[in-house]
Structure 1
Amino acid sequence: MKEGTPIQGKERLEWVDTARGLAILGIFMVNVPAFNAPFFLYGGGEEYFPSATSDAVRAIIDIFFQASFYTLFSLMFGFGLQMMKDRLVQKGTAYEAVLRRRLFVLFLFGVFHAFVIWHGDILLTYSVLGTLVILFMKRKDRTVLAWAYGLLLAVTVPFTLMLYAARNYGLEYINRDGIEAAMTNYGNGSLLDIWSQNTADWWYTNSPGNWPFLIMSMLPMMLFGMYIARKRWLHEPERHEATLWKWWSITGLLFFLFKLGPYFFGTPAWFDMAQDNVGGSASAVFYVLSVTLLYKSAGKALIRPLRWVGRMSLSNYIFQSVISFVAFYSVGLGWYGNVTPLQSVLFVFVVFSGQIIISRWWLSRYRFGPLEWVWRTATYGRKV
């Protein structure tokens, strides 16, 4: 058997790297409010920052970012696994062993990130769901697509109907004990206090009862990514331009209806799951297709710098958490609980602008980002 090798620069799809860079920006935009205060996890942000500006910023993030970019990254994750599998098969390499090593190394990254740096980690979740994606590698396209739609609808439709039926019983929830504990431990605690709170918060969102929801909301996007890679829509966008425009229109309409639509009837809590699962999934595909189509126009220059961040997506994702840890927690600058939604957005753009500059500088000297190099070396069992 031939040994697999990582993808080379000349083989890269630049618009796919750009979409990954956009995903890193979007994830950061949602993560920073969750990193600098407990309200994203436990509710109550409207009480703590009760201003029209804060409400407007929260609405913008909810419409254009929330549930749009971890789904986009899930799609890119499935797309990348399928691409890697295809390349390994082409080279005569047994792909399952390589993919499982890759996912195991990602799992180790995720464990460190989740429990040492930040409870909102997605790497651990992706590594676990990635093992399920491998089970679909030998399935037909129709089977992959049926499972993707089926899982997404199986959780969204019944739970939205249940929440609608219970709409008069007070679905809004604020965990004041959770808010107080987070404020104390993250805002004034020792490093051990921070890690203890971090573990508690991770368990709050990753308990066994929540995993079916994680699987049924994120696995479908990975399967959609697999399907798109198989159809080579993003490999050969000129050839599939009519298809790209068709799905751009469909997902754009769903994006508008499910993400913006609720704001025309008071953003009811019972509609949250449909808004995130349908609207978020549609917006993820819409963003990817928008980047791909824009790349074939004069607008390419506006988004092209994102490709540097996308090529180092793992390193940049972890770096965002490290700098947030230092900025917001008591062992660093101690800004926890004191950053308004608008200041949070400004923080994101300042840090992300720096990431574009640093990523470009790094990639002008090295083939891979630092953590990408570790990941690939561990995956292939040799220096790359």
Structure 2
Amino acid sequence: MGNIPSPIKGSNRLIWIDAARGFAIFGIFIVNIGAFGAPYFLYGGEGGVWSSNVNQTIMTIIDIFFQASFYTLFSMLFGFGFQLMKDRLTMKQVEIRPFLFRRMAILFLFGCIHAFLIWHGDILLSYSLTGFILLLFLRVKRRTLLVWGLSLLFLGTIFITLSLFNMKDYLGWINTAAIDQAIINYQSNDYGIILGQNYQDWMYSNGGIGIIFSLLFVFLPLFLIGMYGARTVVFHQPEKYRSILLRVWWISLFLFAGLKLGPYLFGNPLWFSYAQDNIGGAASAVFYATSITLLAGFSMGSRVIQPFVYVGRMALTNYILQSIVSFILFYGIGFGLYSKTGPVLHIGIVLCLFTLQILGSKWWLNKYNFGPLEWVWRSLTYKKVQPLRRSQQQS
């Protein structure tokens, strides 16, 4: 039981998973860049600042098709991959819990560096902490995973939605003092001041019981649903189970449209925003995942998703790279564009950088087996330096 496994080789990977990861990295950046470039995501007031028709249209599109759709997709994929790794460790007769615990501990270190030295909006910290909790569910039956996942998702959503409804007359408050302070501090060329503001924003988002609630009622249910998906044969043999995937596709599309687009027919009330994001976001994540899985079954579709495969195979590196570039662009220690840009320019930045990430990831993977950070993560996890450069037989 002391064997150390080797990483999954490219030929044994499910291509749709890498494509979905890459697509999620794109969608996450679409949402994150607005929060990276201005304080309004945290403290309110974006409607008054970005009030032009073009900006309002872009924000509406982001809210419907991107907001809470891609961290949910990435979270489900994380749970899916967690289960795949557990199954593989079992086949190799490796001690599962110590191995996965070590993997999550290393991810926790990545998360701490990212959250406190680069950007407060980090998800790696939450993923690693939720991963520790997920160790308790390794031997739970498949159906029980789904029951737990859906129960936690709906319980958390109902609780928050009812709370917001009771407070609906007080929602939409704009914290002008916090906005002004954030603009001053992030435009500073003093890294210490920037870090102080970053920590303040992290505490505002995660302080108190906020992070505990998120772990248990946001991330954990999505991870469990992902684990459930990995224990079914549908996503492992999509060509054989295409009819089932199509049913899932239609159901998720219906829920996606109803919960993400539907609220706009009734004035998009703020008190419903949590349900719109949590349940609607989960539905849209399933819709995107099944869409990519179905596309992967066709030659034309596989060519369409291939650019996302390159990015997805280096998801950790590309995620951190987006934050580093945004840090340089927006904060005073770099170009100082914080609060000076809007949705139009944000979308332009995302499209340019993501295109470069596709090209760069393709180039890198032609020469190397893993992305740089993936290589570090794997080497530390397996307690052995992994071969980074591709061999001539692989090329």
Q: Give me the TM-score of the superposition, normalised by structure 1.
A: 0.98
Pairwise CA distance, 1:162: 3.3
Q: Distance in 2 between matches of 1:104 and 1:161?
A: 36
Task: Tell me what 1:176 maps to.
Answer: 176
| Residue 342 of structure 2, aligned match among 329, 340, 343 | 340
- Relative distance call for 1:178 and 1:232 in structure 2 (3 A) is farther
- Equivalent residues in 2 for 1:1-384, closer than 5 Å: 1=1, 2-167=3-168, 169-215=169-215, 216-297=217-298, 298-384=300-386
Q: Distance in 2 between matches of 1:81 and 1:47?
A: 43
Q: Distance in 1 between matches of 2:373 and 2:233?
A: 28
Farther-moved stretch of structure 1 (293-302 vs 257-266): 293-302
Q: Distance in 2 between matches of 1:331 and 1:150?
A: 45
- Assess if the C-alpha contact under 8 Å between 1:16 and 1:234 holds in 2: no
Q: Distance in 2 between matches of 1:158 and 1:29?
A: 29
* SS across alignment from 1:188: coil
The C-alpha deviation readout for 1:252-310, integer Å capped at 9, x for no partner, is 11000000111111110011011011100110111011000011132332221110000
The C-alpha deviation readout for 1:332-374, integer Å capped at 9, x for no partner, is 0111111111110110010000000000000000000000000
Farther-moved stretch of structure 1 (201-210 vs 282-291): 201-210
* SS across alignment from 1:299: helix
Pairwise CA distance, 1:208: 2.6
Q: Distance in 1 between matches of 2:282 and 2:212?
A: 17
- Assess if the C-alpha contact under 8 Å between 1:326 and 1:333 holds in 2: yes
- Assess if the C-alpha contact under 8 Å between 2:143 and 2:228 holds in 1: no
Pairwise CA distance, 1:241: 1.6
* One-letter amino acid of the counterpart of residue 343, structure 1: L
Pairwise CA distance, 1:217: 1.4
Pairwise CA distance, 1:161: 2.8
Pairwise CA distance, 1:71: 0.6
Q: Which runs of 5+ in 2 are unaligned?
A: 387-395
Q: Distance in 1 between matches of 2:234 and 2:333?
A: 47
Pairwise CA distance, 1:383: 1.1
Q: Distance in 1 between matches of 2:290 and 2:263?
A: 24
Pairwise CA distance, 1:189: 4.6
* One-letter amino acid of the counterpart of residue 9, structure 1: G
* One-letter amino acid of the counterpart of residue 333, structure 2: V
Following TM superposition, the consecutive aligned residue runs of length 4 or more in structure 1 with deviations greater than 4 angstroms are none
Pairwise CA distance, 1:171: 1.3
Q: Distance in 2 between matches of 1:10 and 1:358?
A: 21
Number of corresponding residues: 383
Q: Distance in 2 between matches of 1:244 and 1:70?
A: 22
Q: Distance in 2 between matches of 1:105 and 1:98?
A: 11
Q: Which runs of 5+ in 1 are unaligned?
A: none
Q: Distance in 1 between matches of 2:24 and 2:65?
A: 12
- Assess if the C-alpha contact under 8 Å between 2:30 and 2:347 holds in 1: yes
* One-letter amino acid of the counterpart of residue 81, structure 1: F
Cα root mean square deviation, aligned: 1.0
Q: Distance in 2 between matches of 1:192 and 1:162?
A: 37
Task: Tell me what 2:393 maps to.
Answer: none
- Assess if the C-alpha contact under 8 Å between 2:186 and 2:331 holds in 1: yes
Pairwise CA distance, 1:177: 1.6
* SS across alignment from 1:238: coil
Pairwise CA distance, 1:158: 3.0
Pairwise CA distance, 1:174: 1.1
Q: Distance in 1 between matches of 2:333 and 2:383?
A: 37
